[in-house]
């Protein structure tokens, strides 16, 4: 199965990490994923295993107790994990985005306070931009922070927090007009607050309620929640970076690396769908031969494998670009867009190859079929990716006439 999605030029350390993760996925995740998903059960044992492997600190600098690895290493690990079960990659993803935002934008005190315990997996992160009335249009956020002495008072409702219940640190984006005169552009009057809380549901801190899990069609096991702030008091030293008005940019920076991560998830799920399809096609016989011997099915397999390769190459390219210190919004947008669309198509083809059995909950492809659509939405829909890609192209190819 290792022929597809190879990555040239990896160091020995990267190869060793990946082989350990692949082994863990094959032994500890794939055998239990579908059963846990059907029960919508949080994979505590798997999470404990990931903690032991140090995966929660993979990209956190060594000085804060992490492994200090690159975005590429991280994305390749996520690809492996999503191949096993996409929900597990979701458990890591929001943690990774919050750790990344702290590393890039946090004050020294904030880094020292949070990163070592995040690297150990003892503090786990979630991030919250979306609200009931908005997702794509982040500038329309209505949740608000008002300064009161050395504290801020936060009010508003948030929606769709991946790991909202299980996390103990949420990076929350709200409007904060203080210090920003009327008429300031919306994205310049937003602030990210680092909100610590108890894991769980109900009132997890005075003024902060996590009502319960949203019941989803797929992507089960990992909790997705609302978050309600009603007079939530946050100390001024928990403004990310110590200065208000920078939240929009901090979040967009986090989402940019998150997009590589979602692309990697699409690659992993597509790989698994291909594996399932190519195996089933050689076992199932119709008209006197394995269906893999019918040209129509072979063509499907050829298309699926080509998509797996193309998505992997674009995802690796986007990760390497960010690792080199360059702006990668164009590459990340393209990789996220292509990998999530291809993932859905490859999963659908694998489902068709399974015939009626693909519709049975006994077959893994049934789970993948419900999981793939989430990747079309999370970290920005296809339309939003195309807006980013289009804008960047017009910058790069400005008409000079």
Ligand X SMILES: Cc1cc2nc3c(=O)[nH]c(=O)nc-3n(C[C@H](O)[C@H](O)[C@H](O)COP(=O)(O)OP(=O)(O)OC[C@H]3O[C@@H](n4cnc5c(N)ncnc54)[C@H](O)[C@@H]3O)c2cc1C
Q: Closest approach of Cβ 388 to ligand X, in Å? A: 11
Site for ligand X in 106-135 (CB under 6 A): 127-130, 134-135
Between residues 73 and 385, which has the closer beta carbon with respect to ligand X?
Answer: 385
Between residues 56 and 219, which has the closer beta carbon with respect to ligand X?
Answer: 219
Site for ligand X in 275-334 (CB under 6 A): none
State the chain's maximal CA–CA distance in angstroms: 80
Q: Which residue is nearest to ligand X (CB)?
A: 135
31/348 Cα distance (integer angstroms): 22
Q: Closest approach of Cβ 230 to ligand X, in Å? A: 19
Between residues 216 and 294, which has the closer beta carbon with respect to ligand X?
Answer: 216
Backbone angles phi, psi at 42, to 5 degrees: -65, 130
For tokens 């920078």, the residue is 246
Q: Angle at CA 251, nearest 5°, toward 249 and 253?
A: 70
Closest-CA residue to 366 (of 377, 357, 376) = 357
Q: Closest approach of Cβ 199 to ligand X, in Å? A: 15
Q: Closest approach of Cβ 77 to ligand X, in Å? A: 19
Q: Closest approach of Cβ 136 to ligand X, in Å? A: 3
158/209 Cα distance (integer angstroms): 10
Q: Catalytic annotation on 379?
A: yes
Of the CA atoms within 13 Å of residue 115, those in its CB half-sphere come to: 26
| Alpha-carbon separation of residue 16 from 12, 20, 36, 56, 77 (angstroms) | 6, 6, 28, 17, 11
CA torsion, points 230, 235, 240, 246, in degrees to nearest 10?
70
The interface mask with ligand X, positions 72-111, x = CB under 6 A, is ----------------------x-----------------
The interface mask with ligand X, positions 171-210, x = CB under 6 A, is ----------------------------------------
Between residues 129 and 154, which has the closer beta carbon with respect to ligand X?
Answer: 129
* 254 touches ligand X (CB under 6 A): no
Task: Write out the two tokens for 127.
Answer: 């991030």
Given 203, 330, 381, 392, the residue binding ligand X (CB under 6 A): 381
| Alpha-carbon separation of residue 25 from 262, 268, 387 (angstroms) | 18, 11, 35
Strand partners of residue 348: none
Kindly indicate which of the ranges 68-76, 272-280, 380-388, 392-400 contains the residues binding ligand X, using the contact rule CB under 6 A: 380-388
Q: Closest approach of Cβ 135 to ligand X, in Å? A: 2
Task: Report the relative pairing of strands 125-128 and 144-148 from DSSP bridges.
Answer: unpaired
Hey, how many other C-beta atoms are within 10 angstroms of the C-beta on 283? 9
Q: Closest approach of Cβ 274 to ligand X, in Å? A: 24
37/25 Cα distance (integer angstroms): 15
The SS3 of residue 245 is: coil
Site for ligand X in 221-240 (CB under 6 A): 224
Catalytic residue among 37, 256, 348, 379: 379
302/278 Cα distance (integer angstroms): 10
Between residues 162 and 250, which has the closer beta carbon with respect to ligand X?
Answer: 162
Between residues 102 and 278, which has the closer beta carbon with respect to ligand X?
Answer: 102
86/78 Cα distance (integer angstroms): 9
276/258 Cα distance (integer angstroms): 27
Please say whether the beta carbons of 290 and 282 come within 8 A.
Answer: yes
Task: Write out the two tokens for 178.
Answer: 């203080």
Given 167, 378, 385, 389, the residue binding ligand X (CB under 6 A): 378
Backbone angles phi, psi at 130, to 5 degrees: -65, 150
Kindly indicate which of the ranges 192-200, 216-224, 262-270, 309-317 contains the residues binding ligand X, using the contact rule CB under 6 A: 216-224
The interface mask with ligand X, positions 149-168, x = CB under 6 A, is -----------xxx------
Q: Closest approach of Cβ 390 to ligand X, in Å? A: 11
Between residues 141 and 316, which has the closer beta carbon with respect to ligand X?
Answer: 141
Given 219, 248, 280, 342, the residue binding ligand X (CB under 6 A): 219
Task: Write out the two tokens for 168.
Answer: 């103990």
Given 6, 19, 45, 136, the residue binding ligand X (CB under 6 A): 136
Kindly indicate which of the ranges 24-32, 46-54, 360-368, 381-389 contains the residues binding ligand X, using the contact rule CB under 6 A: 381-389
Please say whether the beta carbons of 120 and 57 come within 8 A.
Answer: yes
What is the contact surface with ligand X in residues (CB under 6 A)?
94, 127-130, 134-137, 160-162, 216, 219, 224, 374, 377-378, 380-381, 383-384
Active-site residues, by number, are 379
């Amino acid at each position: 199965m290792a022929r597809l999605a190879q990555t040239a030029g990896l160091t020995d350390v990267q190869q060793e990490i990946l082989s350990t993760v692949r082994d863990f996925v094959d032994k500890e995740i794939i055998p239990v994923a579908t059963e846990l998903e059907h029960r919508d059960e949080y994979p505590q044992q798997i999470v404990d295993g990931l903690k032991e492997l140090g995966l929660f600190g993979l990209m956190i600098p060594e000085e804060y107790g992490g492994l200090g690895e690159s975005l590429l290493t991280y994305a390749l690990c996520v690809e492996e994990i999503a191949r096993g079960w996409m929900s597990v990659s979701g458990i890591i993803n929001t943690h990774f985005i919050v750790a990344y935002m702290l590393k890039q934008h946090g004050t020294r005190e904030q880094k020292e306070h949070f990163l070592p315990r995040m690297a150990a997996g003892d503090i786990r992160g979630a991030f919250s931009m979306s609200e009931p009335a908005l997702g794509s249009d982040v500038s329309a956020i209505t949740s608000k922070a008002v300064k009161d002495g050395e504290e801020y008072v936060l009010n508003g409702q948030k929606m769709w927090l991946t790991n909202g219940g299980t996390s103990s640190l949420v990076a929350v984006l709200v409007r904060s007009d203080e210090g920003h005169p009327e008429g300031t552009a919306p994205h310049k009057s937003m602030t990210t607050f680092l909100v610590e809380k108890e894991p769980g549901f109900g009132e997890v801190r005075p003024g902060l309620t996590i009502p319960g899990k949203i019941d989803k069609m797929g992507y089960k096991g990992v909790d997705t929640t609302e978050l309600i702030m009603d007079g939530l008091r946050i100390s001024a030293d928990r403004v990310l970076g110590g200065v208000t008005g920078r939240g929009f940019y901090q979040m967009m920076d986090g989402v940019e690396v998150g997009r590589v991560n979602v692309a990697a998830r699409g690659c992993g799920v597509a790989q698994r769908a291909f594996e399932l399809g190519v195996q089933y096609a050689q076992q199932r016989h119709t008209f006197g031969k394995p269906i893999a011997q019918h040209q129509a099915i072979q063509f499907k397999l050829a298309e699926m494998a080509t998509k797996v390769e193309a998505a992997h190459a674009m995802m690796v390219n986007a990760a390497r670009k960010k690792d080199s210190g360059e702006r990668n919004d164009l590459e990340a947008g393209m990789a996220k867009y292509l990998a999530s669309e291809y993932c859905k198509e490859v999963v659908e083809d694998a489902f068709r190859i399974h015939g009626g059995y693909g519709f049975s909950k006994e077959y893994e492809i049934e789970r993948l079929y419900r999981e793939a659509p989430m990747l079309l939405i999370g970290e920005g829909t296809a339309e939003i990716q195309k807006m980013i890609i289009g804008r960047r192209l017009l910058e790069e190819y400005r008409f000079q006439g």
